[in-house]
Amino acid sequence: MSTRLLTLAILFLLIIGFSFSGQAQRSNRNSLAAVTMPQADSPKLVVGIVIDQMRYDYLTRFWDDYGDGGFKRMVNEGFNCKNNHFSYAPTYTGPGHASVYSGTTPAMHGIISNSWYDKNTKKPVYCAGDENVKPLGSNGIEGQMSPHRMNVTTVTDQLRLHTQNNGKVIAVALKDRGAVLPGGHMANAAYWFHGSSAGNWISSSFYMDKLPDWVLQYNASKEVEKYKKPWNTFKNIGSYQESGPDNTAYESAFNGEAAPVFPHNVPALWEANDSFELLKFTPYGNSITTDFALAAVEGEQLGKDQHTDFLAISYSSTDYIGHKFGANSKEVQDTYVWLDNDLERLFTALDSEVGVGEYTVFLTADHGAVHVPAYLADNNVPAGYISSAALRGELTKFLQFKYGNTALLENISNNQIFLDHDAVANLGIKQEEIQEAIAQEIISYPSIFRVYTASQMMRNAYADGIPRILQNGFHQKRSGDVLFMFDPANISYPRTGSTHGSPLTYDTHVPLIFFGKGVRKGATYERTRIADIAPTVSSLLGIAFPSGATGNPINSVLK
């Protein structure tokens, strides 16, 4: 064969080879696209459950007392994130709910506490308060609520946007902030419980012009009144070996009660404890929430069409009871056993109304809780109490001594110090200079563990540890000039009951369980964050992430 013919033959073979290679690559790309394109197989209903003040160890500590259909069903059939944490402080209810549903932290979503000092109006503001809306179902400020102070969208907002408002979003909680913030800006409705002498579920004109008929009928039925009964333990109190004695110095009794012991005679204590408000401090508050959530499923026909709906439930009684009786009390243990029964009741109803395997649930908490410091101290664990008034007094003395002006101090709240910037400027002092002087002063005070200035928060990008957690909770426009942290297990609180708010693990480590359609069965000890929840749910639904999301989908959760 001549050289010319050989060259032509080689060129022909190369052309054929490239042609087949290109076809193969296109074929592979098409096959890959067919595999990875999202399928229209979303759950009919997503149920988000936030349990107020649930430490992670309440899941493991009380495990043997739980039935098979509540917490255990979620763990055994779903995916358990065992090392799940909040990545910011302060760890309170408002920021917790906002973070779960927005997929970010207070530095982005702006809900820096339940209430905070507003530097513009020079007065405290409430995270869900809105004087521009009208109450529905009540005549007072308890109904003037909206999410207008939250700066970003939520996963519930994104569902509404994705479905052209066809997917319904209903949020339910005893606490207004536990419903308003999860519902987001576009919820069909958020409902919260007005106790006192009313005992009704209410809302605001932010969501609708009037309460739906099914809500009016529910309130008129007086269904809540069946819970005006003694609070007895769900199981024999002798079986509750995972908590302390029934009567301790670390608990507080109800008004009119001789001691904080079972049974708590709710009817006899009714008037002295503000009537229906008393039910919030019993497991019956969670049962009332479950009853109303199930009424919402029926009344709104959730999970009944081709568009995914979202039901956000927050269980608030766990927090009221934890604050009153403490993390090691028989009351807290019994409350979680009652709640486990309510969860089983919820899931059983959803199996029937929506269909087994047709809904998806996530369960987490808005924060944990510290053991009562007096109890810890009695067991040789370093712990204590701090007087906020004494701290303010010492700081006022310092400002008078150093600058001759106590008016420089405007407010101390949420472990933050707010200065009068105009007064500081009039003295010719730089903001950074006075912040640093105050930081150097208060770090010398007893029980103050860490101090950071706003200038440090804005100038540095902390990678991890306490500084990073505080920075995630620092909002440049809303937070104070100096941030401080108490010693571990030191709190500014009465000597009975548990509280929360710190960046330490007893407040940051909370459950996170996914269960239902689209969720793998399994568990992980890898660290996950509260901010990962909304991106995970968004990925499951194939919708856009919330606008300020900084978390990531938890890959191991999703099928």
414 and 528 part of one domain: no
Q: Let me know if residue 3 belongs to a domain.
A: no
Which distant-in-sequence residues (6+ apart) come within 8 Å of 96 by Cβ? 50, 86, 365, 366, 367, 530
Pairing of strands 45-51, 135-136: unpaired
Which distant-in-sequence residues (6+ apart) come within 8 Å of 192 by Cβ? 145, 172, 173, 174, 175, 176, 178, 179, 180, 201, 202, 203
Whole-number pLDDT of residue 41:
85
Amino acid occupying residue 538: S
Which distant-in-sequence residues (6+ apart) come within 8 Å of 500 by Cβ? 53, 91, 92, 367, 368, 369, 370, 507
340 and 401 part of one domain: no
536 and 415 part of one domain: no
Q: Let me know if residue 63 belongs to a domain.
A: yes
How far is Cα of residue 401 from the mean position of the Cα atoms in its chain? Answer: 42
Residue 538: closest CA among 207, 163, 148, 178 = 163
Catalytic residue list:
93
Give 490's strand partners: 384
Beta strands in 226-345 (DSSP E): 309-315
The first and second tokens of residue 199, run together, are: 């005992």
- Give the model confidence (pLDDT) of 231-279 as tens digits: 999 999 999 999 999 999 999 999 999 999 999 999 999 999 999 999 9
Whole-number pLDDT of residue 361:
98
Intervals of the chain under pLDDT 50 = 1-39
Range of the domain at 423: 387-446+448-486
- Burial string for 150-172 (b: 16+ CB within 10 Å, else e) reads bbbbbbbbbbbebbeeebbbbbb
- Give the model confidence (pLDDT) of 80-103 as tens digits: 999 999 999 999 999 999 999 999
Considering the entire predicted model, what is its pTM?
0.92
DSSP code of residue 450: E
DSSP-derived 3-state class of residue 418:
strand
337 and 363 part of one domain: yes
CATH classification at residue 429:
3.30.1360.150
Number of domains in the chain: 2
The burial of 316, by beta-carbon neighbours within 10 Å (0-12 exposed, 13-18 middle, 19 or more buried), is given as: buried
The first and second tokens of residue 546, run together, are: 């919330």
- Give the model confidence (pLDDT) of 313-352 as tens digits: 999 999 999 999 999 999 999 999 999 999 999 999 999 9
Q: Let me know if residue 12 belongs to a domain.
A: no
115 and 90 part of one domain: yes
77 and 138 part of one domain: yes
